[in-house]
Amino acid sequence: MRELKIAAVVVAFSLLTYYLVEPYAHHEMHKKVDAHGVEIKLESHGFTYDGTDDIAEAERKGDSALVDKKKAFWAEVSEVAKLKGDAVAGEAGFAMCMGCHTGANVNMGGVIPPSLDHAGRIYDKNYLIALIKDPAMASNVDHKYVDTMMHPMGSIKSMMSDNQQIADVVAYMLEKKAAEVTPKEAFAEACVRCHAVRYTKTTQLGETPVFKQEKEALAYQIKVLDEQDAVKGYMGTLPPDLSMIIRARGEHFMETFIENPQGQLAGTSMPRVGLNHEGYEKVKEYLTEAGDPSKKAREALGPWVLGFFVIFALLAFLWKKYQWRELH
Ligand code: HEC
Ligand code: HEC
């Protein structure tokens, strides 16, 4: 009985530390502060985009011209969002996008333009509008460019400047490019152009095929290295392999980072990707599975292991009783 009491006390204190003290200490010791020591509260906005973070960042920099520019930009985005888009009319405009988003693995100004097959499903509507208006502003990397036309997708600004046309193209994507998406497809469309995932044999060129000849495998490897050099040239650094990232970083970090990379790593070259909630959930599912492929099997095994322990404890108890029966 005494042992049981001691065990109960130890368990209670462990749980208390684990669930209350540790997260609190973590929160207190990892406060994010700006240049003036004011705490920055990183909040998730439910994967919707209206420029709140971007404007707040410009205000923190104390750059009033930038604040005005960001405010005007996001105000116009919200004007376009109010227009009623015509999906049928939008098809012609979307054809212009396909000029770059060909689906062929060809690098264009630093990365391979992603497939837009599920663009209407995984990206937020406001974000898509913003992206067509000005890709660098939408993804919050305008600080990298003197003229945002220099962004690899920047020329879309001049190709499509009519607000109604933008609303139509976005309506087209929300209607025609919004089929059910798998975690793998979501990751391929949103992240692969920059990030490899070693554990799933995926590189910036997509999933690595199986080659019969070693020569072919080596030739492919060279293509991967060339692609990585191009991405590195564009980003200034090779984006990290994401095999383990979901285990290395907590949920809160991932959410707020994907919504707005600048909020977590000020000055980072990673652009905002503009995923909506479903898009993020799919990418998260992919990364969880990649980082821990045996998780499902392990969880299925759990109840069996516990059952084994219960039966074993029972047998041990009966065995003890049997052995000690003479001593009572
Ligand atoms: C001049 C070539 C070009 C044109 C035209 C173009 N894109 Fe892109 N697009 C790109 C490139 C390059 C990227 C990758 C940029 C990056 O990752 O920094 C991209 C990225 C994207 C992304 C993912 C961006 C993100 O932040 O997640 C979407 C969505 C997209 N384009 C939609 C469109 C739509 C819709 C159109 C037509 C209205 C269009 N693009 C026209 C080159 C182009
Ligand atoms: C256009 C290129 C690009 C795209 C697309 C992109 N990333 Fe990144 N990502 C980067 C770069 C560059 C870094 C390195 C940032 C740095 O060190 O400043 C990075 C860093 C990261 C990090 C690590 C942050 C840390 O802890 O250091 C995570 C997590 C991440 N990306 C997740 C994603 C996910 C998930 C997607 C898809 C939804 C994605 N990225 C799409 C370029 C990209």
Instruction: Sort residue 145 into left (φ over 0), alpha (ψ -120 to 50) or beta.
Output: beta
CA nearest neighbour of 288 among 60, 315, 280, 135 = 280
Quick one: what percent of the chain has pLDDT higher than 90? 73
**Is the distance from the beta carbon of residue 257 to the nearest atom of ligand 2 less than 6 Å?**
yes
Determine the pLDDT at residue 44. 78
Residue with the smallest CA separation from ligand 2 atom 17 is: 268
pLDDT in tens, 138-197: 999 999 999 999 999 999 999 998 999 999 999 999 999 999 999 999 999 999 999 999
101 CA from centroid of ligand 1 (Å): 7
Is the CB–ligand 1 distance for residue 283 below 6 Å? no
Answer yes or no: is pLDDT of 28 > 90: no
Question: 224 CB under 6 A from ligand 1?
Answer: no
pLDDT category of residue 258 using cuts at 50, 70 and 90: very high
Cβ proximity of 211 and 293 under 8 Å: no
Cβ atoms of 70 and 55 within 8 Å: the answer is yes
Q: 137 in ligand 2 pocket by Cβ < 6 Å?
A: no
User: Locate tokens 């060339």: which residue?
Assistant: 226
Is the beta carbon of 155 within 6 A of some atom in ligand 1? yes
